[in-house]
Amino acid sequence: MTADAKAVAMTASPPLTERQEARRRRILHASAQLASRGGFDAVQMREVAEAAGVALGTLYRYFPSKVHLLVATMQDQLQHMHTTLRKRPPAGEDPAARVAETLMRAFRALQREPHLADAMVRALTFADRSVSPEVDTVSRLTTAIILDAMGLEAPPTAEQLSAVRVIEHTWHSALITWLSGRASIAQVKIDIETVCRLITLTAPGAGPGSPDSA
């Protein structure tokens, strides 16, 4: 856990004092709270500032835009989820099943706070270049979760990393279609299971020319 905390702090170049760290935490908490209530629109910068007991200007010093704030909130939540997921590793036989199980577990967690999920995912996909570093961090966290779920013995091959990238794409996009009411939960499940087949396809020994060489 301490290692995780350090990993978060790592992104901020100058070390924060205790009071600053506390402010930052209050802000993120207020952000998640408001997001849980009413999603992206309910996270209003003035309200976040007031709820966190901080001046508006200070909020903007810590997070230079609403999108930055929500992406940071997502980082925070993902960190939680990663440690939670690690406690009970997926039980599937093959990597594909384990990844699908893990993602569906994460999905069910998001379902419990759909408004929060909405705020975070919308911010993530709406982010422009100025938020790239932060979005990249979220992406790396997601990759780590998927690779963890695969439970590989050897380091992943280039092909497997490509598959993971595509799985991440699908995960984000499927989440969006669900959040905007254009896909059912069952549909998301199918999409995830479909894309997870790529893992089996790219397993070492299942090369493109010889899928039957095992």
Residues near a second copy, by CB under 8 A: 40, 122, 125-129, 131-132, 135-136, 139, 159, 162-163, 165-166, 168-170, 172-174, 176-177, 180-182, 187, 190-191, 194-195, 197-198, 201, 208, 211-212
- 154-157 — which CB contacts under 8 Å span 24+ positions? 154/204, 157/202, 157/204
Residues whose CB falls within 8 Å of the CB of residue 35, separated by 6 or more in sequence, listed in order: 42, 43, 70, 73, 115, 116, 118, 119, 120
Of 69 and 138, nearer to DNA (C-beta) is: 69
Q: How far apart are CA 109 and CA 189, in angstroms?
A: 14
Q: 200: exposed, middle or buried (C-beta count within 10 Å: 0-12, 13-18, 19+)?
A: middle
5-44: contacts with DNA (CB under 7 A): 14, 17, 19-20, 23, 41, 43-44
Q: What is the largest CA-CA distance in the chain?
A: 64
Tell the smallest beta-carbon distance from residue 109 to DNA (Å).
Answer: 25
Do the Cβ atoms of 75 and 141 come closer than 8 Å? yes
Residues in contact with DNA, shown as a per-residue x/- string from 111 to 140 under the rule CB under 7 A: ------------------------------
Residues in contact with DNA, shown as a per-residue x/- string from 57 to 86 under the rule CB under 7 A: xx-xxx-xxxx-------------------
Give the binding site for DNA (CB under 7 A): 14, 17, 19-20, 23, 41, 43-46, 53-58, 60-62, 64-67
